[in-house]
């Protein structure tokens, strides 16, 4: 499809052990955004293949990355009054193109400072199922840059983190002693208007697809290769509605690209990584990356109504940093309410109290959790032990173990999902 190779899914029916497998778009979970669908065992006619190829061609960007780089060079040569940006087309305009955009809203007098901060010039793509372009707030972005610098990394592979890439580029152009470099991999091709082919690669993180082909792949491989002892780290902030399994597969392939390019003499350690994702995905991430640890730092976003810093209780941002670095190395700001736990050997939020029974700082959401002796683990403060369910839950929850048993057949010992009667229904 226009977003590269499709992924293979399985459609299961209730009561049937074996489902039917099909291909669908890797990035768009909503058919309205991409209607690509094909059964795995389906024979596709030549006519349909030709129509698909034509559709894909028609849905490619108007300009190539190289053309956009040339356009940018021409744009910066223009005097300030002739620099325009079309807000409807999300495109830098050259004077010869003004007439075609007369009916559109556009910004005038685009300064050099604005060109160096494209994430503030472009509209964020906020489709939760596809792009979910929530941009780091200045506080979180500055924290990440400072942390990367303090840890001694000179190169950052920014996967879906345009604002982090932007801040690194800006600091590198303003501060002579700032030696960190960044390469942005992102599905949003609009950034190709502002960055060269060595600074940006059009990339789909759900299927590890480089739209620029082998040349873009080589750019990434070259960036990841060891050069003068410089250390590299990958920082990624995927859409929260994305499939963890698909993301993990792509990230492992990026790690493998770095391992392929390593020279002899390096210890082939896993590439350092910050995966920024909500804390409730912890078990899924650890399933694919068992060496990872979740840090307590709350990442917040400028254009997200809920994920803001400074909120209390359940209104705090649930977004955390998952990393394969030693937890004690990640120093969190004390002035923001983080402290070092000597037992766990990591920084935790002030409300995350160490549980002597669990022998760990157990809170995930920033509040102080309580230990349940019957569950033999710490639970959220608002939860209580339910003898009917034999586990902790909210007071007003619906018990799974009701006297009626299964909702389908009424018998006890199984849930409705695994009810044998479903196959006869």
Question: Which residues fall within 8 angstroms of residue 151, CB to CB, at 6 or more apart?
Answer: 233, 272, 325, 329
| 195 and 307 co-located in one domain | yes
Between CA 126 and CA 354 the distance in angstroms is 38
Give the model confidence (pLDDT) of 215-259 as tens digits: 999 999 999 986 677 899 999 999 988 899 999 999 999 999 887
Residue 180 lies in a domain: yes
Residue 385 lies in a domain: no
Residue 131 lies in a domain: no
> Whole domain around residue 328: which residue ranges?
138-350
| 169 and 233 co-located in one domain | yes
CA of 277: how far to CAs of 135, 252, 283, 309, 379, in Å? 13, 17, 12, 15, 21
Residue 382 lies in a domain: no
| 42 and 86 co-located in one domain | no
Domain count, the chain: 4
| 172 and 284 co-located in one domain | yes
pLDDT at 148: 96
| 76 and 55 co-located in one domain | no
Give the model confidence (pLDDT) of 99-140 as tens digits: 999 999 989 999 999 999 999 899 887 654 445 567 888 899
Give the model confidence (pLDDT) of 35-91 as tens digits: 899 999 889 999 999 999 999 999 899 899 999 999 999 999 999 999 999 999 999
| 182 and 323 co-located in one domain | yes
| 205 and 345 co-located in one domain | yes
Residue 359 lies in a domain: no
Residue 204 lies in a domain: yes
Between CA 211 and CA 2 the distance in angstroms is 10
CB atoms within 10 A of CB 242: 21
Check pLDDT > 60 for residue 311.
no
CA-wise closest residue to 73 among 190, 196, 172, 185: 196
CATH number (domain holding residue 170): 3.40.50
The pTM assigned to this predicted structure is 0.86
pLDDT-wise least confident of 182-186, 276-280, 408-412:
408-412
* Under 8 Å between Cβ of 275 and 307: no
| 204 and 292 co-located in one domain | yes
For tokens 């939760």, the residue is: 128
Count how many Cα atoms sit within 13 Å of the Cα of residue 98 in the half-sphere of its side chain: 10
């Amino acid at each position: 499809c226009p977003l590269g190779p499709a992924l293979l899914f399985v459609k299961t029916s209730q009561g049937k052990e074996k489902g039917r497998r099909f291909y669908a778009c890797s990035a768009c979970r909503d058919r309205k955004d991409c209607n690509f669908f094909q059964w795995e065992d389906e024979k596709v006619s030549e006519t349909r293949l030709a129509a698909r190829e034509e559709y894909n061609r028609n849905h490619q960007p108007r300009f190539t990355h190289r053309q956009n780089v040339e356009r940018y060079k021409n744009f910066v040569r223009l005097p300030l009054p002739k620099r325009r940006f079309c807000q409807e087309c999300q495109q830098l305009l050259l004077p010869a193109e003004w007439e075609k955009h007369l009916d559109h809203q556009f910004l005038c007098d685009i300064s050099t400072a604005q060109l160096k901060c494209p994430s503030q010039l472009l509209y964020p793509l906020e489709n939760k199922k596809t792009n979910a372009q929530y941009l780091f707030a200045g506080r979180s972005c500055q924290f990440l840059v400072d942390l990367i610098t303090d840890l001694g990394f000179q190169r950052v592979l920014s996967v879906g983190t345009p604002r982090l890439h932007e801040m690194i580029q800006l600091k590198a152009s303003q501060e002579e002693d700032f030696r960190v470099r960044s390469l942005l991999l992102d599905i949003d091709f609009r950034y190709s208007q502002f960055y060269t082919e060595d600074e940006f690669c059009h990339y789909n993180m759900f299927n590890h697809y480089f739209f620029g082909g082998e040349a873009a792949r080589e750019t990434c491989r070259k960036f990841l290769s060891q050069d003068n002892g410089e250390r590299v780290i990958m920082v990624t902030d995927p859409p929260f509605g994305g499939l963890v399994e698909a993301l993990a597969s792509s990230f492992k392939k990026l790690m493998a690209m770095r391992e392929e390019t390593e020279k002899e003499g390096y210890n082939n350690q896993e590439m350092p990584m910050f995966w920024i994702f909500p804390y409730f995905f912890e078990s899924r991430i650890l399933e694919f990356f068992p060496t990872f640890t979740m840090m307590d730092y709350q990442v917040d976003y400028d254009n997200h109504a809920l994920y803001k810093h400074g909120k209390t209780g359940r209104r705090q941002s649930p977004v955390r940093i998952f990393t394969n670095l030693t937890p004690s190395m990640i120093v969190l700001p004390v002035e923001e309410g983080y402290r070092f736990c000597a037992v766990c050997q990591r920084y935790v939020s002030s409300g995350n109290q160490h549980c002597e029974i669990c022998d760990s700082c157990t809170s995930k959401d920033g509040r102080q959790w309580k230990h349940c002796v019957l569950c033999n683990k710490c639970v959220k403060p608002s939860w209580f032990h339910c003898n009917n369910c034999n586990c902790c839950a909210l007071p007003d929850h619906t018990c799974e173990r009701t006297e009626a048993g299964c909702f389908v057949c009424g018998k006890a010992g199984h849930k409705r999902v695994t009810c044998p009667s479903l196959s006869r229904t």
